[in-house]
Structure 1
Amino acid sequence: MSAPVLQIIIGSTRPGRIGPVMAAWFAERARQQGGFDVEVLDVADFALPVFDEPHHPKSRNYTQPHTKAWSAAVDRGDAVVFVHPEYNHSVNGALKNAIDFLHGEWAHKPVSFVSYGGASGGLRAVQALKPVVSALRMYPTAAAVALAGPQRQIIDGAFVPTPEQNSAADALLDELGALTAAVSPLLDAARAA
């Protein structure tokens, strides 16, 4: 039996962003943990405009090539970790838009967050996202990673974590793995329907 697919989704798109650096660190940590097949998705790669589908996402009656590609990519995953910044005390628009493009593709997937920002480490953005993912029938973990001012820890293009940050990532992955196993029958049933 193959390992579940963990999708690490980079949720920022602006030039100069550090999201890919943060995602690379977390993806390597997840690969070392060994409980998941790890796939990194970058919202920027899908060039999603502001939502431009004529039909509600529940119908999966997509008309745009970018939506079809995003749907197919997200559909492959069994669990999700959003790696994202905090903008103005909330979630950034690119990530919220990417989430809103889809509906059923998110359902019954465990989800967690690696957030980053100023003093709060992006926690206000996480709190803004939790009701959104819950409305999509995702299962957010209690464990998360919040990184305050991580730019100081980027050396030669790589994030250099503290032992505490690695421990937080490990705790997130452990909880996400247990939750993924617990809800896999629901995800399997949804995919078979």
Structure 2
Amino acid sequence: MSPPKLQIIIGSTRPGRRGPAIAAWFHALALKHPGFDTELVDLAEVGLPLLDEPHPPQRGRYEHEHSRRWSETVSAADAYVFVVPEYNHSFNAATKNALDYLAREWRGKPVAFVGYGGVAAGARAVQALVPVVTALGMVPLSGAVHIPFVRLSFTEDGRFEPAPGLDDSATGLLDDLLRIAMGRPATPVR
């Protein structure tokens, strides 16, 4: 049996974003993690316009090539991790747009989050995402990785340096995501 496919989705698309460096760190940890076939997906490269399909996504009748490509990409995964910034006490528009494009492709699949921001560490973005992914039929993990004061985690040359303990937090998230993707219960919250 092949390992479940994990897509790590970079939510931010704006110039100067921190998401790619954070996602690269998480992706490197996921590649070392036993059990996943891992792929990095950058919404900036996917390039979805603001939702422009005339039919509801539940029908799966996509008229635009970018929608069909996005459907194929998302359908190929068994689990997801969204790397999302916190903007104005919530998550960003590109992430919401990407989620809204599809319906059946997300259904029944586990999802986890790496949130980043200022003092709230992306927690409000993650909290706002949970009802959205739940409405899509996804299975959100109860825990997330949170990165506070994200600017302080970057070197002058733009490299992300995780704070002590962040690697362990991310590895625990991957462990739980794998358990759920394999149909086993996640570690109980302590």
SS state at 2:162 partner: coil
Dislocated runs of 4+, deviation >6 Å = none
Matches within 5 A, 1:1-193: 1-155=1-155, 156-182=157-183
**Post-superposition shift, 1:35?**
1.8
Q: TM-score, normalised by structure 1?
A: 0.92
**Post-superposition shift, 1:26?**
0.2
The equivalent of 2:188 in structure 1 is: none
CA distance in 2, matches of 1:39, 1:87: 25
**Structure richer in strand, relative to its length:** 1
1:129-168 deviation per Cα after TM superposition (whole angstroms, max 9, x unaligned): 0001011111111121010122222223321112311111
**Post-superposition shift, 1:33?**
1.4
- Percent of residue pairs bearing the same amino acid type: 51
**Post-superposition shift, 1:36?**
0.5
CA distance in 2, matches of 1:158, 1:68: 34
CA distance in 2, matches of 1:115, 1:14: 16
Counterpart of 1:122 in structure 2: which amino acid?
Answer: G
Structure 2: stretches of 5+ with no match in the other structure: 185-190
CA distance in 2, matches of 1:150, 1:166: 15
**Structure richer in helix, relative to its length:** 1
Counterpart of 2:89 in structure 1: which amino acid?
Answer: H
SS state at 1:23 partner: helix
SS state at 1:38 partner: strand
Structure 1: stretches of 5+ with no match in the other structure: 184-193
CA distance in 2, matches of 1:86, 1:151: 13
Instruction: Answer whether contact 1:25 1:158 (CA < 8 A) is retained.
Output: no
Q: TM-score, normalised by structure 2?
A: 0.93
Count of aligned residue pairs for this structure pair? 183
**Post-superposition shift, 1:76?**
0.5
Counterpart of 1:47 in structure 2: which amino acid?
Answer: G
**Post-superposition shift, 1:65?**
1.1
**Post-superposition shift, 1:91?**
1.2
